[in-house]
Amino acid sequence: MRKLILAVFFLPIGLIFIFLAFGSQDVDKLIDIEGLRSQGDDWQVMLQKSLPEGGSIKLQQDKWLMYFLHWRPLTEERQDISIEYVRKLMLSFWGPNMPFALSQKSGEMKVAGHRAFFIDGTIYQGMIHSRFIVWNCPETKRQFISDCNINLKRGAPEALLDLQREITQTIACHPQAKIQESSLLRQKYASEKYKLSFYIPQNWRTNDFNNKEWFPKGLSDINGSLWTLLTDSEKYVELLWDNKQSEISEDLFKDYIKRVESHHFETNGITWKIIDMNIENIEAKDDYIVGEGAFKYHLKKGKQEMEKSFIFKALLWNKDNKTYFLLASLRSVQEFWQIPVDLSPSREIFNKYLKEEVLANIKVFNKSYK
């Protein structure tokens, strides 16, 4: 398990670097970077290229967290819980390969009407901030562990750890449980099989944590784990422009797609290249063209290589005698830690990201997008 954690959970940290070809002044004329960052996301300029005939800007943002909910049989040795119990549990739950450094932050709270205890800790020199919240549910004879984690090095703000505490307080671990409502948590996860429910943000998704070592016979209502992850963990935006106005057409749209796919750049020894670009649909609007599809980002450093799958929407338009092409994408994860997991962004989430986050901050986009 440790190798998988290091290879997948932390590898992007070593692969993400910022490359700025020119000053930020040119970027600000085209894109409102501070507007993008206003939601707490650490958008960065990866590459800016400006030439007499045109140019391009590449932006990237990522954040990462994991919210686990574990439940185990309420055996005799698990009956009496306390802060000290949670302390020992946190140090042993994931084994010696997860050497938590426990903090002084601990205390009591209520979950579903039950008395719960929590403690905070960090691992990997403070890269990961974690919190264990533990309570017993006598009604269903189960012990629950809310296992909250944020990756600070991959841009997850501290507020997301507190949000996981709010998620925990929406858990109904037994019928007629008293839960705490939150305006930030509108998506309900409910399982008759596991006899529980809780609420999460719209852009998060819950899946079974099918760890074969823990659950060789599969998950049950007595013994199981769920993990909730982001469906928009990585965002990538590219803006291209030509300093001349061309006729907007599907052929020109495809030409820009080829330009995006053919270009690669290197920074800090990392080679970045978009591959396997597939256009699934192109639609002509009144004064612009929009298309959608999928691609993979191939990253290489020495002998190390990895690929990330993305879905995208792209727009082509003219403004002030210039032609612009915008590519907006979100990562689509189908496997993590060699466990199948569906983290493909929903159409609703993608459209909200495109309209309210990206297009709202592209200063040169002057169209009415619907």
**pLDDT surpasses 80 at 40:** no
Task: Identify the band that residue 2 occupies on the pLDDT scale cut at 50, 70 and 90.
Answer: very low
Do 362 and 326 touch, CB atoms closer than 8 A? yes
**pLDDT surpasses 60 at 14:** no
pLDDT tens across 295-324, in order? 999 999 888 999 999 999 999 999 999 999
Task: Check residue 260 and give its pLDDT.
Answer: 94
Task: Check residue 202 and give its pLDDT.
Answer: 95
**pLDDT surpasses 80 at 23:** no
pLDDT tens across 146-173, in order? 999 999 988 888 999 999 999 999 999 9
Name 275's Cβ contacts closer than 8 Å, sequence gap at least 6: 261, 295, 296, 297, 298, 307
The burial of 348, by beta-carbon neighbours within 10 Å (0-12 exposed, 13-18 middle, 19 or more buried), is given as exposed
Tell me the C-alpha distance between 148 and 130, whole Å.
5
pLDDT tens across 76-99, in order? 999 999 999 999 999 999 988 788
Residue ranges and CATH numbers for the domains of the chain are 2-62+234-361 (no CATH), 64-230 (3.40.1000)
Task: Check residue 127 and give its pLDDT.
Answer: 92
DSSP assignment of 213-278 equals TT-TT---SSSEEEEEEES-SEEEEEEEEESS-----HHHHHHHHHHHHH-EEEETTEEEEEEEEE
pLDDT tens across 259-269, in order? 999 888 887 78
- State whether residue 126 is helix, strand or coil: coil
Structure tokens at 141: 């004879």
**pLDDT surpasses 70 at 12:** no
Task: Identify the band that residue 290 occupies on the pLDDT scale cut at 50, 70 and 90.
Answer: very high
Q: How far is CA 167 from CA 22, 42, 68, 133, 247, in A?
A: 43, 24, 11, 11, 50
**pLDDT surpasses 80 at 75:** yes
pLDDT tens across 222-241, in order? 999 999 999 999 999 999 99
Average pLDDT over residues 283-294: 95
Supply the mean pLDDT for the chain. Answer: 90
Task: Identify the band that residue 212 occupies on the pLDDT scale cut at 50, 70 and 90.
Answer: very high
Task: Check residue 269 and give its pLDDT.
Answer: 84
Task: Check residue 155 and give its pLDDT.
Answer: 82
pLDDT tens across 104-151, in order? 899 999 999 999 999 999 998 889 999 999 999 999 999 999 999 999
Task: Check residue 317 and give its pLDDT.
Answer: 97
Task: Check residue 39 and give its pLDDT.
Answer: 76
Task: Identify the band that residue 10 occupies on the pLDDT scale cut at 50, 70 and 90.
Answer: very low
Over its C-alpha atoms, the chain yields an Rg (Å, rounded) of: 23
**pLDDT surpasses 70 at 22:** no
Task: Check residue 184 and give its pLDDT.
Answer: 92
**pLDDT surpasses 50 at 17:** no
**pLDDT surpasses 70 at 357:** yes
